[in-house]
Chain A
Amino acid sequence: MPLKLNYQLMKPAELTATLDHMAEEILKANDGRPLVLLGIQRRGVPMARRMAMRMAEKTQTKPQIGTLDINLYRDDLTRVAFQPVVRRTDIPPNIDDRDVVLVDDVLYTGRTIRAALDALCDFGRMRTIQLAVLIDRGHRELPIEANFIGKKITTKDNEVVEVKLTEIDGEDAIYVMEKT
């Protein structure tokens, strides 16, 4: 499906500032408790890494980080036309009774987070699971909300929010595209 650019939502400086701000909010809300940041493949992974760096600057202790691939837990495997590429899951051992923050780029229908919660249940019983997203674009199909939101925007159904991160895409930016 061809996409055309609607507008640019964030430039590099704003994106970095937003991630830093989210990192600080997460620290404040968790009151010094050690955290585990779990990035959802793919763009949640570099996000979690960057936020962990920021937290380390602020507190001199680095939170644990991990990665989570949710494709094995999708509810639409038999319905999507393409076959999702299964990437690495790497969860720190013994996350029982820990405070875990799931990190993802865009919160949309909530189905990715549903799958992530199912996946996490297979790794034990965490004390809390919190959710941090860079963009909340609305249109939820499940009763799921984020604890930490970089920016909340209203979008139309035919729009696509594209988060670009240097580690994966070679640039830091957020674009709102439109399906044509």
Chain B
Amino acid sequence: MTRKHLLGIQDLDREEILEILDTAESFQEVSTRPIKKVPTLRGKTIINLFFEASTRTRTSFEIAGKRLSADVVNVSASTSSVSKGETLIDTAKTLDAMAADCVVIRHSSSGAPNTLARLTKASIINAGDGAHEHPTQALLDAFTIRMRKGRLDDLKVAIIGDVAHSRVARSNVHLLTKFGTHVWLCSTPTLMPQGVQHMVCENRHFLHTTNSMDEAVRAADVIMMLRVQFERMNESFFPSIREYFRYFGLSRRRVEQAKPDVIIMHPGPMNRGVEIATDVADGPYSVILDQVAAGVAVRMSILYLLLGG
């Protein structure tokens, strides 16, 4: 891969995505070894710069970096100079002066990683920016789908829930439509962004929207539930949680409308009983923990492709 940064799925082409997924398959094995470590990125410094709360993404990047023998430093906004009023740009320049090789950034503002990429010598990896993109999540989702379904084209993927606040949905739409899979976005009208169809440049006809969960899950190969992001809601988007679950929550009855070999995904963290029923989350169709395991392999692959060689 000749790319220096990973800022979004939108500007990746299919070959680059497949290179990341194929390399991740090779990296899966490292996590099964008695000594779960290879010396590949010895001497490289990776800084996890997280301005928003995160458990799995930050931990996953940290584990991926450490399994490749890189030195991983975690900076969270609440304990850093950011709380003293330092700007993003100054923080980035400071980290650059310490010769970081890679900065993994999560930020509440869309485009923050792109700004950093212009200003630093380090490779920048977007770990989620505002409601824009979360490329590594879409890549690990694609990895999980390909592992279970054997392909990335000609599937029906339903993405259901809080589309408006979801960078995961956007990155997944970009990735899956590139490969020719039908993506159905489903939500309440209040949580469905206006003009969302126009976000896809190529293969626009693979993106569909609906307010009917029945239509979204009917004969679906993959159901991807999105977390209701209460922390980003400063007004009321639906009358009550009970009503939301009734119309947009994934219950066992809904799962039965999908294909018999459907897989259920969730990027986590889950709100059990809000967007997904507990028996579905823990049930036989759920691949939610496979996604977490895939996350480490996919992030190792990305770190290797950006920093190795």
The complex places the Cα of A88 from the Cα of B23 at a distance, in Å, of 9
Q: Indicate if the CB atoms of A89 and B40 lie closer than 8 Å.
A: no
CB neighbours (8 Å) of A88 from chain B are: 25-26, 29
Counting contact residues on chain B (CB < 8 A from A), the size range is 10 to 19
Min C-beta distance of B30 to chain A, whole Å:
8
The complex places the Cα of A86 from the Cα of B40 at a distance, in Å, of 11
Min C-beta distance of A3 to chain B, whole Å:
23
Counting contact residues on chain A (CB < 8 A from B), the size range is 20 to 34
Q: Is B34's beta carbon under 8 Å from chain A?
A: yes
Q: Indicate if the CB atoms of A84 and B33 lie closer than 8 Å.
A: no
Q: Indicate if the CB atoms of A77 and B29 lie closer than 8 Å.
A: no
Q: Is A136's beta carbon under 8 Å from chain B?
A: no
Min C-beta distance of A39 to chain B, whole Å:
15
Q: Which residues of chain B from 285 to 309 have any CB-CB distance to chain A below 8 Å in the complex?
A: 304-305, 308-309
In the complex with contacts A77-B308, A80-B309, A87-B40 CB distance below 8 A: no
Q: Indicate if the CB atoms of A78 and B309 lie closer than 8 Å.
A: yes
The complex places the Cα of A118 from the Cα of B68 at a distance, in Å, of 14
CB neighbours (8 Å) of B25 from chain A are: 88
When the two chains form the complex, which single residue of B1, B34, B38, B305 contacts A72, counting CB atoms closer than 8 Å? B38
Q: Which residues of chain A from 43 to 102 have any CB-CB distance to chain B below 8 Å in the complex?
A: 69, 72-73, 77-78, 80, 82-90
The complex places the Cα of A89 from the Cα of B33 at a distance, in Å, of 10
Min C-beta distance of B170 to chain A, whole Å:
28
The complex places the Cα of A87 from the Cα of B29 at a distance, in Å, of 10
A-B interface contact total, Cβ < 8 Å: 45
When the two chains form the complex, which single residue of B1, B34, B308, B309 contacts A123, counting CB atoms closer than 8 Å? B34
User: Which residue of the partner chain A has the closest CB to B41?
Assistant: A77
Q: Is A34's beta carbon under 8 Å from chain B?
A: no
Q: Indicate if the CB atoms of A83 and B38 lie closer than 8 Å.
A: no
CB neighbours (8 Å) of B1 from chain A are: 83
User: Which residue of the partner chain B has the closest CB to A89?
Assistant: B29
When the two chains form the complex, which single residue of B26, B34, B37 contacts A86, counting CB atoms closer than 8 Å? B26
Min C-beta distance of A124 to chain B, whole Å:
7
Q: Chain B 21-39 against A: per-residue CB contact (8 Å), 1 yes, 0 no?
A: 0010111011001110111
Q: Which residues of chain A from 116 to 158 have any CB-CB distance to chain B below 8 Å in the complex?
A: 118-119, 122-124
Please classify the interface of chain A as helix (H, G, I), strand (E, B), loop, or mixed, using the class held by over half of its residues.
loop
Min C-beta distance of B70 to chain A, whole Å:
12
User: Which residue of the partner chain B has the closest CB to A82?
Assistant: B309
Min C-beta distance of A162 to chain B, whole Å:
23
The complex places the Cα of A122 from the Cα of B68 at a distance, in Å, of 13
User: Which residue of the partner chain B has the closest CB to A87?
Assistant: B26
When the two chains form the complex, which single residue of A84, A118, A122 contacts B309, counting CB atoms closer than 8 Å? A84
Q: Indicate if the CB atoms of B34 and A90 lie closer than 8 Å.
A: no
Q: Indicate if the CB atoms of A86 and B23 lie closer than 8 Å.
A: yes
The complex places the Cα of A80 from the Cα of B308 at a distance, in Å, of 10
Q: Indicate if the CB atoms of B33 and A122 lie closer than 8 Å.
A: yes
4 smallest CB-CB distances across A and B, nearest first, come from A83-B309, A72-B38, A72-B40, A86-B26
On A, residues with C-beta under 8 Å from B are 69, 72-73, 77-78, 80, 82-90, 118-119, 122-124
On B, residues with C-beta under 8 Å from A are 1, 23, 25-27, 29-30, 33-35, 37-40, 68, 304-305, 308-309
Known interface pairs A78-B309, A84-B309, A86-B27; 15 further A-B residue pairs with C-beta atoms within 8 A, sorted by A's residue number = A69-B26, A72-B30, A72-B40, A73-B40, A77-B309, A83-B308, A83-B309, A85-B23, A86-B23, A86-B26, A87-B26, A88-B29, A89-B29, A122-B33, A122-B35
A-B contact pairs, 12 of them (CB 8 A): A72-B38, A72-B304, A73-B39, A77-B308, A83-B305, A86-B27, A87-B26, A88-B26, A89-B29, A90-B29, A119-B38, A122-B37
